[in-house]
Amino acid sequence: MNIAVFASGRGSNFAAIIRAVKKGKIKANLALLVSDNPKAKAIAKAKRAGIKIALVKRENFNDKKGYEDKIIEHLKENNIELIVLAGYMRLVSAEFVAQYKDKIINIHPALLPSFKGAHAIKDAFDYGVKVTGVTVHFVDEKMDHGAIILQKAVMVEEGDSEDSLERKIHKIEHQLYPKAIQLVAEGKLKLQGRKVKILP
């Protein structure tokens, strides 16, 4: 299975995926990094790992369709079968989702459907929850909404700060995302409406 990772920033999840592929924990081909941000640290990580990079800048296109069509061109060229969003800071359009139906997954640093959006860790911390966590889900046309593949809880303990909570969440993300990707690669997920069955 050919995988493309989409990342706009630091790329720590991307790095965890690279490590998991190298160790054989994900049995798939990490074929492409797609980024919209020339300053993304993920780009340097791809270079070091010898992974192809498609840098597609939104400002080079008049509209979102032109931008996404260019990305789709790269995906087709590389026979991409699974899109892994890992800190990709743009919403994908409904048309894009339709072209890659059930072939796009995302990781979110909270237990969905709680704390959707770009500041989930801060929002959960400020709210004062005692339990938060990580969600890996299929991407549909609504933000942070598609069917849930895996979730793992993270406790907010006395003495935790937003920073320490963030560190704990990222640690779990780096374990959970490779696990979910391997489940997809093995064909072990069966979608039944909003429910994702994990086959034995």
Residues near ligand GRF (CB under 6 A) are 7, 9-14, 86-87, 107-109, 173
Question: Would residue 108 show up in a list of annotated catalytic residues for this protein?
Answer: yes
Residue closer to ligand GRF (CB basis): 58 or 69? 58
* Among 177, 190, 135, residue whose Cα is nearest residue 30: 177
Task: Describe the chain by its helix, strand, coil percentages, rounded to 5.
Answer: 40, 25, 40
Output the smallest distance, CB 176 to ligand GRF, in A. 10
User: Which residue in the list 108, 119, 145, 170 is annotated as catalytic?
Assistant: 108
104-108 and 82-85 strand pairing: parallel
Q: Cβ-closest residue to ligand GRF?
A: 87
Q: Rounded to whole angstroms, how far apart are CA atoms 63 and 59?
A: 9
Output the smallest distance, CB 13 to ligand GRF, in A. 3
Residue closer to ligand GRF (CB basis): 12 or 132? 12
Residues present in the chain in total:
200
Residue closer to ligand GRF (CB basis): 41 or 58? 41
Q: Rounded to whole angstroms, how far apart are CA atoms 12 and 31?
A: 17
Known catalytic residues are 108
